[in-house]
Amino acid sequence: MKTLFILLLAAVSQLSYAQCDKNFLLNFNEITEIRGTSSSPMKSEGTISFSKNVIIIKALINGSEKLITSQVRSVECDWSSFLKEGKSTYQLYSGKGNDVPKDAATLVLEGTDGKLKVSFRPPSAELQFQITQTIINP
């Protein structure tokens, strides 16, 4: 009985982690930049592209294109319903534009009641994205 429980627990853990291996794309239409106690919402449009080892954020802000490329160092994944109920925390190395990803950063996806919240935390600020669409396996 104990062996069966351990095997079941391992299978469920593997299933939750396998969800984080999926390729998916998030579209957004607003970014809020948080520095200390002040926050600044910015109208923007763009995408966050997820693959197993790379996360790419592309944004158009006030007519200027911005690019952040991140290498995934590790991921913690716990979803009861992928991208709807649960959470993923990505530990990353990130770089702006064509820079080599070297700055430590964290990206958190959190789903509650079917709504997805995305926070990106590079060293100097936090960016929160207003998600408008989710596309799995683009």
Residue-range domain boundaries for the chain: 2-136
Q: Which CATH number fits domain 2-136: 2.60.120, 2.40.160, 3.30.70, 2.60.40?
A: 2.40.160
Give the C-alpha separation, 92 to 56, whole Å: 11
Nearest to 28 by CA among 38, 42, 7: 42
| CB distance 44 to 59 below 8 Å | yes
- The pLDDT of residue 21: 83
| CB distance 14 to 75 below 8 Å | no
- The pLDDT of residue 138: 64
Nearest to 92 by CA among 130, 52, 42: 52
Give me the residues of the chain with pLDDT under 50, please.
Answer: 1-17
- The pLDDT of residue 108: 98
Task: Report which DSSP code applies to 52.
Answer: S
Give the C-alpha separation, 73 to 107, whole Å: 11
- The pLDDT of residue 18: 61
Q: Taking the C-alpha atoms of 32, 120, 59 and 110 in order, what is their torsion angle to the nearest 10 degrees?
A: -80
Residues 6+ apart with CB under 8 A from 112: 85
- The pLDDT of residue 17: 45
Nearest to 92 by CA among 39, 38, 133, 51: 51
